[in-house]
Structure 1
Amino acid sequence: MKVFFIDDFSPYLELFPELSKTQLKIFVMYGHGITPERITLELNITLNTFYSHIKYIKDKYQVDSSSELRGIFYARRDSHYMRSLKKLTRKI
């Protein structure tokens, strides 16, 4: 049974253009707190593949911990939300 209901990851491409599509899916799901085991089931990949992607993403963002990695996810996502909200409120 699917528990993660984002079928369209394209909005995240703008936030994380440096990631491949697979890396992006893993990072978004991981950033939303989905467990590695659930992500592997959702994406039909092995745990080794998952951890290889996470290591690559950590290296790319030059962080050592999962909490730092999630911090990057939240910071970019929230910054995007704030910019979008600012644009919307200017139109009112």
Structure 2
Amino acid sequence: MSALRRLLLDYGLLPQQFLRLDAELFALLEKVAAAQQRSVHDVAVDALYTAVYAAYAQVGNDRRWQELTPRQQQVAALVCLGYTNEAIARQLVISVNTVRSHVRHVLDKYAVASKAELRIILSAWDFESWYDRVE
């Protein structure tokens, strides 16, 4: 950070949009910016946008999950674990048609077109604990 910018920041003469970063994070931003031949500001703005958007999307995913029925949650968890509709039906002792219906409702609530898209959206979630709930 330039001496002028630091002086302006210290006296509150720069817009409030600036963030104070620790030295380690700023050094990392500088390395990324240099590697991408971009300004530190542009890299920081892009990184912040990506992080905030991901957090906002996660809030939406959490809300959608709570809107699912317990059975829909079980089906969604098993879908994310890679189970086929037939395997889900056997596991939950329900018909394949019922599984298909639950899958359609889950996909609709998440506004996705396929089970693969659902797996991508929820890929950060750990569904292994759901296995115990459905056995």
TM-score exceeds 0.5: yes
Name the counterpart of 1:9: none
Determine whether 1:51 maps to 2:100.
yes
Q: 1:67 — aligned with what?
A: 116
Could you tell me how far 1:56 is from its partner in structure 2?
0.6
Deviation at 1:21, TM superposition (A): 0.4
Using CA pairs under 8 Å that are at least 6 residues apart, name the structure with larger relative contact order, 1 or 2.
Answer: 1
Equivalent position of 2:70 in the other structure: 21
Distance 1:49 1:60 in 2: 17
After superposition, the CA RMSD in angstroms is 1.4
Query: What TM-score do you get using the length of structure 2 for normalisation?
Result: 0.44
List runs of 5+ in structure 1 lacking aligned partners. Answer: 1-14, 79-92
What letter corresponds to residue 74 of structure 2 in structure 1? K
Contact conserved, 1:23 with 1:53, CA < 8 A, in 2? Answer: yes
Shift of 1:25: 0.4
Question: SS of the residue aligned with 1:17?
Answer: helix
Are residue 42 (structure 1) and residue 42 (structure 2) matched?
no
Greater CA radius of gyration, 1 or 2? 2
The alignment's TM-score, normalised by the length of structure 1, stands at 0.62
Aligned residue-pair number: 63
* Contact 2:79–2:115 (Cα < 8 Å) also in 1: no
Residues 28 and 73, structure 1, Cα contact 8 Å, conserved in 2: no
Equivalent pair of 1:37/1:47 in contact (CA under 8 Å)? yes
**Moved >2 Å (runs of 4+):** none
- How many percent identity over aligned positions? 38
2: CA distance, partners of 1:52 / 1:29? 14
